[in-house]
Homo-oligomer: A and B are copies of this chain.
Amino acid sequence: MPPKLFEAVPNFSEGRDAEKVARIADSVRAIPGVRVLDLHSDPDHNRSVLTFVGEGEPLLEASVALARACVEEIDLSDQKGVHPRMGSLDVLPFVPLGPPLSDTTLEEAVRLAKMAGEAISALGLPVYLYGAAASTSYRADLAEIRRGGYDGLVARCEEALWKPDYGPEEIPPRSGAVAVGARLFLVAFNAYLDTNDVEVARAIAGEIRERDGGLPGLKALGLEVGGRAQVSMNLTDLERTPLPTALEAVRRSAENRGARVESTELVGMVPLSAVFEASRYYLALPELGPEHVLEAACWGGWRDPSET
């Protein structure tokens, strides 16, 4: 029987001080049974994304260690960056992992998110459940919880509708609040344009995102990052909108505005199936699958990190 694995993809509000980022990541690495897969820091966003995998119990322990490290290292009242945020540990989603590595369900991720939220709140942090773990439908969308960032949340949490699910009812200025949730695999995929005109990126984002009638499961923002216009995307339903569909929509929309996609980047990880889908699409190779790949066929299943 495959192990019950989840991915955790916390976002925390430090992307410039490499030593602080390292200490925060090390707090997770120290937990036996947890495998840290990726750490991506963005100085412009002043934000880092950590990706780690493990079974429920080690992940619970790692979540508490991570929240404690973020509270110690990050003073939110002193933090500036392009990205909206409401907490030092800003967001902590749990994602069920499917075949061939595991066979965990979204319901199991919801149970884990609630346990983690409760455990983190004992550190004095207000916790908002979101996504599939939300206690009520208007909190399912992370953007609704985080609207207006820290200040917006402080103003709103006076109302009964916006009390935290766990923890203190007042939002501490230093740590802020944290959103803990459960969701399906999400791919963060950014396209850089050959222009510095952020309005072009915003117009493209408005054309392609689901909210404004675009592609299913696609969220998009136009940003200026490092002096270039960027279409920042989240793909939340890879079945209906895989990477090539999103990118080709950006390319068409950019072309109509006299711009071009120069390069793209992934923030965090993708499932192997997303890479295969891209090769299938562009190589006109409909039958390509992991069974065609030497490494995938030879490698074993989940390798307990304590064995390495």
A265 interface residue per 8 A CB criterion: yes
**Binary interface profile of A, 62-77, with partner B (CB < 8 Å = 1, else 0)?**
0000000000000000
Contact between A294 and B279, CB atoms less than 8 A apart: no
**Minimal beta-carbon separation of A60 from chain B (angstroms):** 19
Contacts of A296 in B (CB 8 A): 272, 295, 299
Contacts of A284 in B (CB 8 A): 191, 247, 261-264
**CB-contacts of A270-300 with B (<8 A):** 270-272, 275-276, 278-279, 281-288, 290-300
**Minimal beta-carbon separation of A305 from chain B (angstroms):** 9
Check A293/B270 contact, CB under 8 A, given A275-B276, A298-B53. yes
A97 interface residue per 8 A CB criterion: yes
A168 interface residue per 8 A CB criterion: no
Contact between A282 and B282, CB atoms less than 8 A apart: yes
Contact between A37 and B294, CB atoms less than 8 A apart: yes
Contacts of A300 in B (CB 8 A): 299-303
Contact between B272 and A285, CB atoms less than 8 A apart: no
Check A285/B270 contact, CB under 8 A, given A7-B294, A303-B298. no
* CA distance in complex: A97, B299 (Å): 13
* CA distance in complex: A5, B302 (Å): 21
A47 interface residue per 8 A CB criterion: no
* CA distance in complex: A215, B186 (Å): 39
**Minimal beta-carbon separation of A100 from chain B (angstroms):** 7
A122 interface residue per 8 A CB criterion: no
Contacts of A303 in B (CB 8 A): 298-300
A157 interface residue per 8 A CB criterion: no
Contact between B293 and A271, CB atoms less than 8 A apart: yes
* CA distance in complex: A169, B5 (Å): 60
* CA distance in complex: A79, B301 (Å): 42
A183 interface residue per 8 A CB criterion: no
Contact between B292 and A266, CB atoms less than 8 A apart: yes
* CA distance in complex: A299, B297 (Å): 11
Contact between A283 and B244, CB atoms less than 8 A apart: yes
A243 interface residue per 8 A CB criterion: yes
A151 interface residue per 8 A CB criterion: no
Contact between A285 and B265, CB atoms less than 8 A apart: yes
Contacts of A290 in B (CB 8 A): 295
A225 interface residue per 8 A CB criterion: no
A35 interface residue per 8 A CB criterion: yes
* CA distance in complex: A88, B303 (Å): 41
**CB-contacts of A4-48 with B (<8 A):** 5, 7, 35, 37-38
**Binary interface profile of A, 154-185, with partner B (CB < 8 Å = 1, else 0)?**
00000000000000000000000000000000
Interface residues of A (CB under 8 A from B): 5, 7, 35, 37-38, 53, 97, 100-101, 191, 243-244, 247, 261-266, 269-272, 275-276, 278-279, 281-288, 290-303
